[in-house]
A and B are shown apart, each in its own frame.
Chain A
């Protein structure tokens, strides 16, 4: 049935999947650099927790800054992931399986990072649960939470449930 059979197929597979199994110097360099950036971010957030939002340089007149921009940016990225997988499905492209998986991954990761941003932006992140205890449906922010949790749940289910090539 296969166009390429037996040993040759395995050979091709091994070549294609090698970067996943064996990692080179460049990979670890990228991972290391990103880890440093990540730790830098954690350090900066600890400073923000200690000193307050004062350190961000935001003030009353510009009370939303980079955090909310990043929130919108990452939500946009996650939409791109969903859009790619949806379009590929609609046009029934035969080669779409790997691209769809990548797009689903992008959706989940971008959405998780995006959802973190408003929490970082809060003046009192320790009172996050107030959103559920005292939440008001009249507020756009509560709908934000509802929409993003729904979207994230859906994306995660799609990602972990068996793929649908």
Chain B
């Protein structure tokens, strides 16, 4: 034991030198790291300040649109009446060359509290406090000054954090080479016009602000045979389904419009008016709708098709 103790002291003396050297090394490395990181941090802060200043300057002078949508469920029968797949979904797919199985506006059939079902067309909710925008690590999904949430497929790294964050399940990933027709490759890409689809990136409803600016309704609203989809501007307080124009504040209040999952605090800009197609004579007990189809015969080389 005695011998052992002596060994220990001799060794620990030896070790103390090592210990000091390690501590000094860490100190040196730490301060060097701090010095190296400081300019990067400062430039980052400066960048942020620049960006916010620029945005404010751009925003102030002109009146900004606040695009929004009202979906009148009293007039939606999931296209049972014409015995076709939901025309909003079909028009959106064909207008955007959306790859299978993406339905950017999808018509869900929900069970009603009593007997029967209702049909709920579900586009991207265009949240004003969007979870997807909050979590995106590279800012590939962003909110425009008009309040529309878009995705820049040229920046998206495909981490799929936004899909985990979206409480509405309205985001779609290009798992393989997207099954789109070759002519879609000719389109000029823009986040407001996500054509052509790119493998390994996320896509969703872009709310068609480019069409609205050109004076047209989005594909879904154009195609709805019962004019259940209103598209409008909260700022100017109007919306239209292509047949009638309504004063939004009045229209929403009179019909007790609601939004999906309001309790989450995402502040969606898609409003619903409760119903089950009664305004166009649908019986809630009649279930089922036609399946959505992707009409293209010819697809790009290497295209894969997956299910959601």
Interface positions of A (Cβ within 8 A of B): 1-3, 51-55, 58-61, 63-64, 94, 118, 121-125, 127-128, 130-131, 133-136, 138-142, 157, 161-165
Contact = CB atoms under 8 A, between A and B. Distances in A.
A127 B15 CA distance: 46
Contacts, number: 130
A16 to B, nearest CB: 17
Contact of A142 (B29, B137, B177, B200): B137
A156 B29 CA distance: 12
A131 B3 contact: no
Interface of B: 3-4, 6-8, 10-11, 15, 18-19, 21-22, 25-26, 29, 134-140, 155-161, 163-164, 169, 171-177, 199-202, 304, 306-308
B165 to A, nearest CB: 10
A60 B163 CA distance: 8
A140 B161 contact: yes
A81 B18 CA distance: 22
Contacts of A122: 157-159, 200
Contact of A54 (B26, B137, B161, B176): B176
A76 B167 CA distance: 29
Given A59-B306, A141-B137, A127 B173 contact: no
B156 A59 contact: no
3 cross-chain pairs, A with B, having the tightest CB-CB distances, nearest first:
A123-B158, A123-B200, A54-B176
Contact of A94 (B8, B22, B173): B8
B173 A141 contact: no
Contacts of A133: 138
Contacts of B21: 161-162
Given A53-B175, A123-B201, A165 B157 contact: no
A131 B139 CA distance: 9
Nearest to B18: A162
